């Protein structure tokens, strides 16, 4: 499929997808045709084929916003279940977005059993 189509399916902008491809960080193999079009090769068995489960992550930047964190999670759970997803895990985190120390988010991204 075209990179632009793949980006829409992933919920990211084309420019972000292009940057991922250009830096070699695109999670799927891709090739550029002679015309310049970038084709993303999806795996044979798509993860959308069967019942899907999700890990939900919510973060606020200060402990004053803990009530907002609970509201975020409630909305995420409602949305996921309305879309037919099974909520596998819910992760909350309180921490500043400035320093990048999001230990729980990084643990999700490092988990080989979880796909993004």
- pLDDT tens per residue, range 45-81: 544 544 578 888 888 888 788 888 888 988 988 888 8
Q: For residue 112, what are the contacts with CB-CB under 8 A and spacing of at least 6? A: none
Collect all residues with Cβ–Cβ distance below 8 Å to 108 and sequence separation of at least 6. 55, 57, 91, 114
Residue 17: phi and psi, rounded to 5, are -60, -40
Instruction: Give the span between the Cα atoms of 74 and 72, in whole angstroms.
Output: 5
pLDDT score of 88: 84
Name the pTM for this structure. 0.50
SS3 72: helix
Q: Could you state, in order of their start, the residue ranges of all structural domains in the chain?
A: 3-40, 53-110
Name the fold adopted by 53-110.
Rossmann fold (3.40.50)
| Residues acting as catalytic residues | 61
């Amino acid at each position: 499929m075209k990179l632009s189509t793949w980006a829409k399916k992933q919920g990211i902008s084309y420019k972000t997808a292009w940057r991922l491809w250009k830096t070699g960080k695109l999670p799927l193999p891709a090739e550029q045709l002679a015309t310049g079009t970038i084709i993303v090769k999806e795996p044979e068995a798509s993860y959308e084929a069967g019942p899907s489960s999700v890990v939900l992550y919510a973060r606020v930047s200060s402990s004053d916003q803990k009530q907002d964190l609970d509201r975020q999670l409630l909305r995420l759970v409602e949305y996921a279940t309305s879309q037919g997803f099974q909520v596998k895990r819910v992760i909350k985190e309180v921490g500043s977005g400035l320093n990048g120390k999001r230990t729980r988010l990084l643990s999700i991204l490092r988990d080989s059993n979880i796909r993004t």
